[in-house]
Amino acid sequence: MLKPNFDQAEFLKDYWQKEPILIKKFFSNLEGYTNPEELLEIACINAVDSRIITTRPEYCVAERYSLTQGPFDADSLPALAEKNWSLLIQSAELWIPDLQEMIRAFGFLPRWRIEDIMVSFATQGGGVGPHFDQYDVFLVQGLGQRTWCIGERIDLTAPHQSPAGTVSTLNLIDEFEVNQKFTVESGDVLYVPPGYPHWGISQSPSLCYSVGFRAPSNAEMIESFSNRVMELLTESQRLTDHTTPAMRDSAEITTKDWQHAWEVVAGLLANKGAFLRAFGSLVTEAKSPEFIEPLADEVHIEELLAFRGPTVELVRNPASRFAYTVQTDSNPVLLFVDGESYELDRICLPGVRALCADALQNLFDISELWQKDESRALICRLVQSGALWLTEKED
């Protein structure tokens, strides 16, 4: 089992979302989850989000990196012996199931924050160029060595700031002043918070597993919440005014007018229950919804249980996102799956926790999920939505 080897409390106190840190031998027993040959095969699959970036060292930064978007034909791929290129596979955990183990290893952070694992293979001199991200990322080094340069944090909140003289279509930045420089080897992890420019160059053929953490923007949260509030309103709910004989000018919007309108809107936006549902739905939206296919017909419990046996498992769709919340002892449990919310009686909490647990397992074996009619109905709905799958057991 893959376990991180570091002081989690110190990391969360001093580094998380604050500053970069290199943690040597973060994974002391890192296995070879993939290899260059397998990644090249995956890059040829139509449904895979893949890219190849070619580095031309003799060019200026604006022209140094060339992007080719996949999927690729096997004949068009560069040779492993060639220098200065890098292959990126997004959401690699959907194609390399063993990478779910790496996701579980980051259980010291909220599971709903994890976006995906991007795997990059780079030959000597390869890399994606100088850039910064809007999210936290753990760069887990596998095969080979890479050198990472880190710059000064960019103030992403500064108005009208354009720190990224964006280069070509790669959204790169100009070369930055290097404050820190690290060479990483297998099992090392470089943590980079949002806004820190970083630039990795492969010193030898190497693999890097980028564990990215999503963070909704303020604009996304406002949009999601306002949409949820609007769903609760009717067309007949409208502003009423308080016009009096003392009106000075029919063209004037008085302080009393706009303050009354503000109070109406502010009152609607004080609905914490609506915000909770909107927030939970937002952070569980699937990154790859094309892998979640709803069934056309309604699923009935008798039909589902008929599959239970020694050769069939009921498991979570790896592309689906699960989270739940519990407010008080008297409140219902809210389950969020792929952007949808489900309200269940508090008695279903043990089953919900088992359903959302880090370890993927056969849900037929979790007795708490089958004891209540409410949770049994939920399972049927999730199978119909595509969030749960029936699959043959592996030998």
Q: What is the pLDDT of residues 15-67, one digit of tens each?
A: 999 999 999 999 988 888 999 999 999 999 999 999 999 999 888 777 889 99
pLDDT of residue 1: 76
For the chain, the residue count is 395
Work out the percent of the chain whose per-residue pLDDT is above 70: 95
pLDDT of residue 89: 97
Q: Per-residue confidence at 165, pLDDT binned at 50, 70, 90?
A: very low
Q: What is the pTM of this model?
A: 0.90
Task: Rounding to the nearest 10 degrees, give the CA dihedral for residues 283, 385, 352, 336.
Answer: 20
* One-letter amino acid of 60: C
Q: What is the pLDDT of residues 294-349, one digit of tens each?
A: 999 999 999 999 999 889 999 999 999 999 999 776 678 999 999 999 999 998 99
Please indicate whether residue 50 or residue 158 has the higher confidence score (pLDDT): 50
**Domains located in the chain, CATH noted:** 8-213 (2.60.120.650), 222-283 (no CATH), 289-392 (3.40.366.30)
Could you tell me what percentage of the chain is helix, strand and coil, using 3-state DSSP and rounding each to the nearest 5? 30, 25, 50
Residue 237 CB-density burial (10 A; 0-12 exposed, 13-18 middle, 19+ buried): exposed
Q: Could you give the CA distance from residue 73 to residue 2 in angstroms, rounded to a whole number?
A: 34
Question: Which is it for strands 136-141 and 189-192: parallel, antiparallel or unpaired?
Answer: antiparallel
